[in-house]
Structures are given as C-alpha cells and as structure tokens.
Amino acid sequence: MSPEPFGARLRRAMDTRGPLCVGIDPHSSLLTAWGLGDDVAGLERFTRTVVEALADRVAVLKPQSAFFERFGSRGIAVLERAVADAREAGALVLMDAKRGDIGSTMDAYAATYLDPAAPLFSDAVTVSPYLGFGSLRPALDAARASGSGVFVLALTSNPEGAEVQRSTAPDGRSLAQVMLDHIAAENADAAPLGSVGAVVGATLDRAGVALAVNGPLLAPGIGAQGATAQDLPRVFGDAVRNVVPSVSRGVLRHGPSVSALREAALQQAAELAEAVK
C-alpha cells in the first residue's frame, strides 16, 4: 500500500491543530537567554524542551539544520533524536536544510531526508531550485515514493532574494513564477493538497506572482522579521488557506518554561487561524 501523501497529512494537521509551524532555531543568543551554554548540552536541553512542549499540539515543527550541524556529529545526533521524538508525538517535521545540487549529490540529499530508513527521515524538507527546477527531480521522486513533502524556495523573506527571484526569464515570467508554475505542475490533480510546497515570505509587500499551486505555502518572517498574522491575507490573497505560517523566536523566546512555550504557541496559532480562515 502506498503511504499517505504529505499534502493530505498536512491538510489534516492544519485543520485539527491549526496552521502554525514553529521553527526550532537554537541560536547562540537564544541558548544564552534560556540560561544554557552554547554547547551540545545546551543544544540538547533546548531541543528536548521545545519538542516536549510543542510536538503534541502544533501542526509542524521546523528544525533549522545549520544550528545543529555547527556542533558536528554530536549536534546531528541531537537533531536525529528530535526528529524521531517530534514525529512520534504527532507533529509533522519539516527539515529546514535548503539543499540544492545536481545528479548523484542531489540523490544523496534526497536519501538523507526522504528515505524512511535514514536517521534524519523527515515529513518534508526545504530545497533550493536555483540550479534549475529539474535538478530537484531526485528529491521530488523520493518524496513521492515515501509520502513526504518538498518545499521549494520561490520568494524568500530576505531582501537579497529579489536579486535572483524577481529577475526575468526569457519568456517574461519572473524566476519565482517559473518555479511556482513547476510546483503547480507537480501538484496537478492532487487532493486535498499537493505535497510540493513553495516558500514565500510573509514579509513581502506583495507577492506579485500567481500562488495557486495546489500545494502548501510556507510563510517565514512572522514575528522577529516584522510580518504579522494580519499581513497574510494581503500577501497571499485567495491562496491564504494553504499558508503554513512559520514562527520561531516569537514562540521560543518564552522558554525555557514548558507552560510558557505552550501558551505562546496557543496564542500564535489562534491569531494565525483567524487570519487564514
């Protein structure tokens, strides 16, 4: 029997738990603010606390791989444990790795995050398409086979991104629109939601692209980067119901108290659900 597609699992999680995605971003400054050392012990305590507080109640947890990789193999071990524990508690895990390459290297990245036998197997992973959308084929195929998802960078929340993403392809479309059109093709006929998503920043004044991709739209930038829940209908228009709003420091700064983290996530989820309904 084929595994249930990520898009269907995500739609159900968003409908039952709310649309909130919480990033697990153990910045050095955040570890310090929690009274923890900027070391593997602090990383492990921070990560376990976030998973304990939120994995049984938010739709998506999104660990940023770089903050674990900086500690080497011991940091990766913490990440492996976090992914397994979060998924066991019912959260969908979106690995924020932003991988992108070609050929056998992309095959290896796909095997790392999208093979059910891999230690870092996640429900979805972020990828960069700017070596050409076709370079993502190993990840797209692996995700389809394992019932996982792929989120493709399209219009990111950092201002530098426009230099590439807003540039014009030979046919007159922006490169971001080219990527979104590829995503829509991958999701054709999927129901209730496709498993290939796009990353579109909530900080944009306007999207300026067609966002009807029949897939989820990961929206970073809410909170510390300046966007609010109230910005989502303006940026995403008719596609707002498929938005997965991502909040990191807006929730994490309330730690290390488990109850305070839960309360912050509950408040964020309620505000976001109201904005996207």
Q: So which residues are the catalytic ones?
A: 98
**Parallel, antiparallel, or unpaired for β 196-200 and 149-155?**
parallel
- C-alpha distances in Å from residue 232, one per residue of 206, 208, 251: 10, 14, 18
- Compute CA 224 distance to the chain's CA centroid, rounded to the nearest angstrom: 17
> Closest Cα to residue 87, out of 142, 161, 6?
6
Residue 155 forms beta bridges with which residues? 200
Q: By C-alpha distance, which of 210, 60, 48 is closest to 149?
A: 60
> Would you state the structure tokens that stand for residue 146, as one six-digit string?
């394992």
Pairing mode, strands 149-155 and 124-127: parallel
Residue burial 67-94, b: 16+ Cβ < 10 Å; e: rest: bbeebeeebeebbeebbebbbeeebbbb
Which residues face 196 on adjacent strands? 150
CA–centroid distance for 254 within its chain: 21
- Are the C-beta atoms of 197 and 215 separated by less than 8 Å? yes
Helix (H, G, I), strand (E, B) or coil at 39: coil
